[in-house]
Chains A and B, each alone.
Chain A
Amino acid sequence: MKFIPNTLLYFLVLVLFIQCKDVAKKEAEITTAKNEIQYAKGLEIYNYEGFSVVKITNPWPDAKENFTYVLQQKNSIIPDSLKQFTTIQIPLKSIVVTSTTHIPALELLGVENTLVGFPNTDYISSVKTRKLIDAGKVREVGTNETLNSEVLIDMAPDLIVSFGLNNSNPTLDNLQKSGLKVMLNGDWTEQSPLGKAEWIKFFGALYGLNSKANTIFSDIEKEYNTTLALAKKATSKPTVLSGAMFQDQWYVPQGQSWASLFLKDAQANYLWADSNGTGSLALPFETILEKAQEAEFWIAPGDFSSLKEMSDSNPHYKQFDSFKNKKVYSYGVNKGAKGGIVYFEWSPTRPDWVLKDLISIFHPELLPNHKLFFFQKLE
Chain B
Amino acid sequence: MTQTNRNTILFISLIIGMLLLFLVNISLGSVSIPIKDVFNSLTTGNCSKETWQYIILNYRLPKAIAAILVGMGLSISGLLMQTLFKNPLAGPYVLGLSSGASLGVAIVILGTSFLPTFLSSILISSYGIVLASSLGSFLVLLAVLAVSQQLRDTMAILIVGLMFGSLTNAIVGTLTYFSTAEQLQKFTFWSLGNLGNLSWSSIAVLSICIGIGLLLSVFSIKPLNALLLGENYAKSLGLNYNKARLIIIFATSILAGSITAFAGPIAFIGLAVPHIAKLVFQTSNHTILFWSTMLFGAIIMLICDSISQLPGSDFTLPINAVTSIFGAPIVIWLLIRKRKMIG
Contact = CB atoms under 8 A, between A and B. Distances in A.
A284 B29 contact: yes
Contact of B31 (A245, A286, A315): A286
B220 interface: no
Contacts of B182: 302-303
A285 B182 CA distance: 20
B333 interface: no
B189 A293 contact: no
A314 B59 CA distance: 11
Nearest to B29: A286
Contact of B54 (A143, A282, A314, A319): A319
B31 A248 contact: no
Given A284-B314, A314-B197, A316-B197, A246 B189 contact: yes
B192 interface: yes
A283 B315 CA distance: 7
Interface in A292-310: 293, 302-303
Contacts of B29: 284, 286
Nearest to A123: B180
Given A143-B177, A248-B194, A248-B316, A286 B55 contact: yes
Contacts of B186: 246
Interface in A318-356: 319, 339
A303 B185 CA distance: 12
Contacts of B54: 289, 319
A247 interface: yes
B30 interface: yes
A55 to B, nearest CB: 29
Contact of B58 (A245, A246, A247, A316): A316
Contacts of A339: 180
B189 A247 contact: yes
B82 interface: no
B55 A247 contact: no
Nearest to A286: B31
Interface string B236-247: 000000000000
B196 A248 contact: yes
B309 interface: yes
Contacts of A290: 31, 51, 55
Nearest to A311: B199
Nearest to B190: A247
A151 to B, nearest CB: 16
A147 to B, nearest CB: 13
B197 A248 contact: yes
A285 B29 CA distance: 10
Given A284-B316, A287-B314, A247 B192 contact: yes
Contacts of A246: 185-186, 189
A286 B59 contact: yes
A276 interface: no
Contacts of B194: 247-248
Interface string A197-226: 000000000000000000000000000000
B189 A249 contact: yes
A247 B195 CA distance: 9
A319 to B, nearest CB: 6
Most-contacted residue by chain B among A290, A302, A314, A339 (CB, 10 A): A290
Given A143-B177, A289-B51, A289-B54, A247 B30 contact: no
The size class of the interface chain A forms with chain B is: 20 to 34
A71 B49 CA distance: 63
Given A284-B30, A286-B31, A303-B182, A247 B196 contact: yes
B55 A289 contact: yes
A269 B63 CA distance: 32
A246 to B, nearest CB: 4
Contacts of A314: 197, 199
B313 to A, nearest CB: 9
Contact of B314 (A247, A283, A316): A283
Contacts of B180: 339
Given A246-B189, A247-B190, A286 B197 contact: no
Contacts of A248: 63, 194-197, 316
Interface string B183-204: 0011001101011110100000
Contacts of B55: 285-286, 289-290
B133 to A, nearest CB: 15
Contacts of B197: 245, 247-248, 285, 314, 316
A286 B190 CA distance: 19
Most-contacted residue by chain B among A249, A285, A293, A315 (CB, 10 A): A285
B316 A315 contact: no
B30 A286 contact: yes
A247 B189 CA distance: 6
Contacts of A289: 31, 51, 54-55, 59
Nearest to A340: B180
Contact of B59 (A281, A283, A285, A303): A285
Nearest to B31: A286
B320 to A, nearest CB: 12
Contacts of A287: 30-31, 314
Interface string A134-172: 000000000100000000000000000000000000000
Interface in B123-139: 125
A290 B264 CA distance: 27
A323 to B, nearest CB: 13
B51 A316 contact: no
Contacts of B59: 285-286, 289, 316
A173 B216 CA distance: 58
Nearest to A281: B314
A314 B186 CA distance: 13
Contacts of B192: 247
Nearest to B195: A248
A275 to B, nearest CB: 10
Nearest first, the 9 closest Cβ-Cβ pairs linking A and B are: A248-B196, A286-B31, A284-B30, A247-B194, A247-B189, A248-B197, A246-B189, A315-B199, A286-B30
Given A246-B186, A246-B189, 5 more contacts: A281-B314, A284-B196, A284-B314, A285-B196, A316-B59
13 contacts: A143-B177, A246-B189, A247-B196, A247-B197, A249-B316, A284-B314, A286-B60, A289-B31, A289-B59, A290-B55, A316-B58, A316-B59, A339-B180
